[in-house]
Structure 1
Amino acid sequence: MSPPLAVLEGDEVEASSQHRQAKPRKPRGQKKKAAAKTGVADGTMQAVVPAGKAELVLVAKAMHRDHFGKHVEELFHLEKEAALKALRTGLYVGWRCPEYLWDCFRVGDHSKCFCGHLLNEHQAYAGASVPCATERCECQSFTFIPSRPEDVGEFWLRRRAPPESFAWRAKCRCEHSHEKHVPRASRPCRVAGCFCKCFESTFLCAACDRRWEEHETFFETTEARKQGGLPYGENYLLFAEMPELRNAVLTGKLSDDSAYQALLAEPPGPSGSHALPLPSPDPQRPPE
């Protein structure tokens, strides 16, 4: 998941992207469900969510001028790393609502689990659960949780304190962070005197406006994504259908497509059907 473009200054923009549905808050309804069914099963570029205000991208570019490309690169660097690794390995880790045909967030090695540890601190995916490898951690399967205020649309928080001293944590309605909750089953709070029996997020996904509890973490091979009608290969890159923004994410420059061309020149990554076992039908989640 990543936030809308003009959020570089705290504004909201709705842009056409197969991996984004960033837009102003509004009631959930049938329109969103209908949009989730849009897609092409052959892996070609697909604009899952039609642009409603694509012209605002031009406004965002005008606002930031020469700094726009670099800001986009910084904002999406974690997802860029995750996408590039997926292309190399053939294993895609995504966070989304189950009915969606796009990922709200591309999950990579430095993405955080509900237990508080990073993905690269968990065991390697082997077709089943992905338990934490950190000693004495109770986590039995990696479950992505946002780790930056930008991930949930709270962009203004980053400007209120120096980055090196700022430590944002996703919180429950009980006002305690996810790291204060048990990382399995219903995820009750550990804090003494707190009677919270399950983690209920106080934030919304910046990509789709739905709660953390409505999302799940998926570990999928290339073949699994082909079969499910989800983007894969170069179409898994951020803003794959918007060349200038894609270039900005990869290089920090709107007109520099050298990184993209280099990717196209590389041999295809491992086939999901050969390199890795297919994931189980259900998304990865801690057992009840």
Structure 2
Amino acid sequence: MTEQFRFDGSASASVDAYLEYRRIVGDDDGGRLMSPEEYERYKRDVLPIRTKNRLYVSWTSPTGMDCKLIGPETMCFCQHRYKQHKTDFKELPSSRPILVNCRVKGCSCFSYTYAPMNGTQSVRCHCKHYASDHGAMAPHRCTLSACLCKGFQTSFTCGCGYKSSEHQTVVETREERKERGHPVGQEGVPYAAMGGLTGFSSLMDGYLRLDDSGIGAPSKEWLEEPRRSRSSTKQQLKS
């Protein structure tokens, strides 16, 4: 028999408050829950910076499509998550590309780089070893002993039709992203390390998203046309 848990109103509110705390603070508390006073001071100091200087991170195809939008839990080549990198900046860097270094002690990663995945599994290099077996920084040499691999290379092809090697990790400001014509979501989001996430559709691969960062929303005419004619319309769009 499956055991069921029931919470009264106060317990449910406490769970919601903790989840909100975790989304805002992330790993900045060092594993020790902040006191109410520390939490309020943290929000007062960090949230204005975070909402003003948010960075948008995506894994982008040669056409400019955001094939993967990076979120807090998305893994880097260094095998640490995006939320474990420096994502809050008092002042936005003036140099490009913007470097988002890993904050984990002893990690040599000086800028977040998306490690391509095939579903939930890391893809393999031509040396037969996984991306997770390669170094944090380009050219991502294999770290396994006796392997002669001098840099990560894979035949894995993204759903957009381009090889993963033809993609790049893009870190950009709100203004730069708007100039590319891609969605930026709501202003004032307080959560840590949101990267390129702007909504539920952000969790889908670029070619599946019906928004400006993917293949584009379908036209009103396409949505309203008779169902029987859509297959021929799709064929015309492909050609």
- Cα RMSD after superposing both structures: 2.6
Deviation track 1:60-101 (CA, whole Å, cap 9, x = no partner) reads xxxxxxxxxxxxxxxxxxxxx9xxxxxx9453211102x433
Aligned residues: 137
> Is contact 1:145-1:212 (8 Å) kept?
no
* 1:146 and 2:110 aligned: no
Match of 2:123 among 170, 188, 192: 170
1:93 aligned partner: 57
Deviation track 1:233-288 (CA, whole Å, cap 9, x = no partner) reads 37x65324369xxxxxxxxxxxxxxxxxxxxxxxxxxxxxxxxxxxxxxxxxxxxx
1:231 aligned partner: 183
Counterpart residue type for residue 157 of structure 2: L
* 1:123 and 2:86 aligned: yes
Q: Tell me the distance in 2 between the aligned counterparts of 1:123 and 1:226.
A: 23
* 1:187 and 2:110 aligned: no
Q: Secondary structure at the match of 1:179?
A: helix
Counterpart residue type for residue 101 of structure 2: P
2:67 aligned partner: 104
In the TM superposition, residue 125 of structure 1 has moved relative to its aligned partner by: 5.1
In the TM superposition, residue 202 of structure 1 has moved relative to its aligned partner by: 3.4
Deviation track 1:90-149 (CA, whole Å, cap 9, x = no partner) reads 53211102x4333111110011101111101111254331111112112111001234x3
Deviation track 1:146-196 (CA, whole Å, cap 9, x = no partner) reads 34x33xxxxxxxxxxxxxxxx722221101112221111311111111111
Q: Tell me the distance in 2 between the aligned counterparts of 1:96 and 1:179.
A: 20
* 1:221 and 2:173 aligned: yes
Q: Tell me the distance in 2 between the aligned counterparts of 1:242 and 1:233.
A: 19
> Is contact 2:60-2:168 (8 Å) kept?
yes
Between Structure 1 and Structure 2, whose CA radius of gyration is higher? 2
1:204 aligned partner: 157
In the TM superposition, residue 218 of structure 1 has moved relative to its aligned partner by: 1.3
In the TM superposition, residue 216 of structure 1 has moved relative to its aligned partner by: 1.1
2:30 aligned partner: none
> Is contact 1:95-1:218 (8 Å) kept?
yes
- Where in structure 1 do 4 or more consecutive aligned residues deviate above 4 Å? none
Q: Secondary structure at the match of 1:226?
A: helix
> Is contact 1:94-1:218 (8 Å) kept?
yes
> Is contact 1:101-1:229 (8 Å) kept?
no
Structure 1 portions without partners, runs of 5+: 1-80, 82-87, 151-166, 244-288
Q: Tell me the distance in 1 between the aligned counterparts of 2:55 and 2:106.
A: 27
TM-score calculated relative to the size of structure 2: 0.51
> Is contact 2:115-2:122 (8 Å) kept?
no
> Is contact 1:115-1:178 (8 Å) kept?
no
Alignment of 1:44-123 (within 5 A): 89=51, 90-97=54-61, 99-123=62-86
TM-score calculated relative to the size of structure 1: 0.43
1:156 aligned partner: none
2:225 aligned partner: none
Q: Tell me the distance in 2 between the aligned counterparts of 1:191 and 1:204.
A: 24
In the TM superposition, residue 211 of structure 1 has moved relative to its aligned partner by: 2.0
Structure 2 portions without partners, runs of 5+: 1-22, 24-49, 187-197, 202-209, 212-216, 220-239
More helix as a share of residues: 1
Identity of aligned residues (%): 33
Q: Tell me the distance in 2 between the aligned counterparts of 1:173 and 1:181.
A: 12
Q: Secondary structure at the match of 2:171?
A: strand
Q: Tell me the distance in 1 between the aligned counterparts of 2:154 and 2:125.
A: 5
> Is contact 2:78-2:109 (8 Å) kept?
yes
